[in-house]
């Protein structure tokens, strides 16, 4: 399968931003994927497979993050990430703004 490069912007909907719980869920989600995944916020780009890097990014609610996925399973990986962000990582109605 050919390697894909996908870039998409997404807004953080969680009331507390990308805190420990969503960061943990992102890292767990990405453990099984082959693609490289990076988040960019305020000119800082981090490896999204690192919980510490996600926490250091300190993206608050309503932050616009650029997700870059590179690899053979890039589309499936991006789809799962977007769904997780849209569902506020299972944190209930906190995504309403």
Reply yes or no on whether 19 is catalytic.
yes
Please tell me which residue in 11, 19, 61, 70 is annotated as part of the active site. Answer: 19
Q: Write down the pLDDT at residue 96.
A: 42
Encoding tokens for residue 2? 């050919």
State residue 5's pLDDT score.
96
Query: What is the structure's pLDDT at 2?
Result: 81
pLDDT of residue 94: 45
Q: What is the pLDDT along the chain (97 residues), one digit of tens a residue?
A: 689 999 999 999 999 999 999 999 999 999 999 999 999 999 999 999 999 999 999 999 999 999 999 999 999 999 999 999 999 988 865 444 3
Q: Could you identify the residue written with the tokens 């997780």?
A: 84
| Domains of the chain, CATH where assigned | 4-95 (3.30.1340.10)
Q: How far apart are the first and last CA of the chain?
A: 40
**pLDDT confidence of residue 1:** 63
């Amino acid at each position: 399968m050919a390697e894909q490069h996908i870039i998409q912007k997404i807004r953080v909907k969680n009331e507390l931003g990308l805190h420990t719980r969503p960061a943990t869920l992102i890292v767990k989600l990405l453990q099984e994927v082959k693609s490289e995944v990076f988040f960019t916020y305020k000119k800082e780009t981090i490896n999204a497979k690192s919980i510490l890097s996600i926490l250091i990014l300190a993206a608050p609610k309503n932050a616009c993050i650029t997700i870059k996925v590179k690899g053979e399973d890039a589309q499936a990986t991006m789809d799962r990430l977007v769904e997780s962000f849209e569902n506020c990582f299972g944190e209930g109605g906190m995504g309403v703004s």
